[in-house]
Amino acid sequence: MTKPSTHTERPPIVVVMGHVDHGKSTLLDFIRKSNTVEKEAGGITQHVAAYEVEREKDGGKKRITFIDTPGHAAFQAIRARGANVADIAILVVAADDGVKPQTLEALASIKGADIPYVVAINKIDKPNSSVERTQASLMQEGVYLEKLGGDVPWAAISAKTGQGVEELLDLVLLVAEMHEMKGDPAAPAEGYVIEAHRDPKRGLAATLIVTNGTLKSGMAVLAGRSISPVRIMETTSGASLREASFSTPVQLVGFDELPDVGTTFCAYKNKRGAEEARPPLPPAGSTAGAAAQTSGEEGGEHFFMPLIVRADASGSLEAIEHEMARLGDEHSSLRIVLSGIGTISENDVKTALAGSVQAVVIGFNVKVDPVAEEYARQHSVRIETFDIIYKLTERLEELLHETRPKRVVEEVVGRAKVLKQFSSRKDTHVVGGSVAEGYLARGAHVRVTRRGAIIGTGKIKNIQSHKADVERVETGSEFGAQISCPFEIAQGDSFECFTTAMK
């Protein structure tokens, strides 16, 4: 992404992080309800990816853009690509609980992203809270606060009553001023995709954060290989926009492909310019499914199981997101394509059908609209509801195991050294050796290395110990083996014996 050339102050982009029970959602809710630039129609609180707040400072108005939830997929995906959509983090620590393992995880994420942060010591309204004890627990973990021998800004707050929240926002603005966050409003817009979904009525849509430049109606946006004309551009609460400058979150409708969360975007004068800059398609066979799979960091395929989640409160939703983040592995995980507070609706069921892989609708402490229930029955959409979080977690784990595609898993079971080569004829070689660790088994595969470099792979056709055929030989045993491979095996080579299975 290009560096800004015109030094114009821009609003900071802030992410709030912390332990799941330390009041992060309550803090975000309080800030959003009391400071947002634009209120939702009808007073309905929507679950959005980002929003702006406005503060009076030095006789003028200053804006701050918040990314909703620290575990938000956007923040994780962007960090994985080595970039930072957030400029500043707020680390929330409860005054009645102190530093917890998840606090340390959040702190590691902040340091990994290399962004400044402010500490919010929350829940000071509770009778068993202790700011001093919390400060001590932070310092034990190397977080040295201002006025206590360190340079990390902090504020004591109650997200429930609002005490100290204004001072916290002032600290955020002060940190932003100290780091001189600048942008060039005259430049073509660029930024990040922080949320993407399929709107059943309007098509493919994404929430974008503009980090530099100005996005104007009539332009076109390129995010990865996804292109959208800038025709339907809205605030995160649905108000129409003609243009949006840096640090502004916007919803853009009209993408020809669903962009990946965390992808950078650039704006072009028109659609033709975006099409000319669009990268070529990857080689055949390597393209991943739009809704279910995406390329992994090592070039493999990663399976995502799509979910639509409805909960009774933002705290419940955050807890579900936290539990989901613990499930899966480097090959498969869960992905929320739509989430929010309240009853499961017909629109949720329709959204579940919109992807290339049908989503499962999950409800926590919420009801299912009868119309939605009937529509789901007619279209075979799975709806599952829960009132206990661990039951939900167990079921999600089962669903992920049931739906993810099977893959070939390799397991190294033994290593050996070739002590002598007895014969070599075409693709069959007879050697003697010693098992260094694990075991070698008849029918298993071996990876052959020479002076640390892999020279090829073969298969054990037969194996002997003390001149008798055996199924396997263990650590410390000497053996004779007949190996099938298209290359010659020499004395001094090493074997790595491995098995494969579909899992």
Closest CA to 490 of 437, 453, 463: 453
Helices 314-326 & 24-35 angle (0-180, nearest 10):
140
Residues 6+ apart with CB under 8 A from 320: 309, 311, 362, 364, 389, 392
- Could you give the domains of the chain? 8-181 (3.40.50.300), 190-274 (2.40.30.10), 301-403 (3.40.50.10050), 408-502 (2.40.30.10)
**Three-state SS at 184:** coil
CA distance 195 to 235: 14
Residue 57 amino acid letter: K
β-strand partners of 305: 334
pLDDT, position 195: 77
Q: What angle do CA 136, 142, 148 make, to 5 degrees?
A: 50
Percentage helix, strand, coil for the chain under 3-state DSSP, each rounded to 5: 20, 40, 35
pLDDT tens track of the chain, all 503 residues?
544 445 688 899 998 888 777 888 789 889 887 765 544 333 323 344 678 888 887 778 899 998 865 444 455 555 444 346 789 999 999 999 999 888 888 888 888 888 999 999 999 999 999 999 999 999 999 999 999 989 999 999 999 999 999 999 999 999 999 998 888 898 889 998 887 777 778 888 888 999 999 999 999 999 988 999 999 999 888 899 999 998 889 999 999 887 877 788 999 999 999 999 888 765 443 333 334 444 333 344 667 888 999 988 766 787 888 888 888 776 778 888 888 888 999 989 988 887 767 889 999 999 999 999 999 998 889 999 998 888 898 999 888 887 766 666 788 999 999 999 999 888 899 999 999 999 999 999 999 999 888 898 999 999 999 999 999 999 999 999 999 998 889 999 999 999 877 66
Beta-carbon-side half-sphere exposure of residue 112 (alpha carbons within 13 Å): 13
Does pTM top 0.85 for this prediction? no
pLDDT, position 51: 81
CA distance 410 to 437: 17
279: tokens are: 């990268």
CA distance 263 to 228: 14
CA distance 30 to 246: 24
381: tokens are: 């959409």
CA distance 468 to 476: 17
**Three-state SS at 161:** coil
pLDDT, position 76: 53
Residues 6+ apart with CB under 8 A from 368: 343, 344, 383, 385
180: tokens are: 């001189």
CA distance 488 to 455: 9
Closest CA to 410 of 295, 304, 497, 301: 497
CB neighbour burial string for 282-317, b if at least 16 within 10 angstroms, e if fewer = eeeeeebebbbbbeeeeeebbbbbbbbbbbbbbbbb
Residue 232 amino acid letter: I
User: What separation, in Å, do the N-terminal and C-terminal C-alpha atoms of the chain show?
Assistant: 40
446: tokens are: 């071996």
For the chain, the residue count is 503
Closest CA to 193 of 182, 206, 178: 206
CA distance 474 to 435: 6
Rounded to a whole number, what is the largest CA-CA distance in the chain? 93
142-145 own/partner pairs: CB under 8 Å, 24+ apart: 143/91, 143/107, 143/119, 145/119
pLDDT, position 357: 73
Beta-carbon-side half-sphere exposure of residue 351 (alpha carbons within 13 Å): 25
Closest CA to 353 of 177, 198, 138: 198
pLDDT, position 75: 56
- Residue listed under structure tokens 């000319």: 276
- Residue listed under structure tokens 């609460």: 237
pLDDT, position 219: 96
- Residue listed under structure tokens 């009853």: 343
CA distance 362 to 377: 15
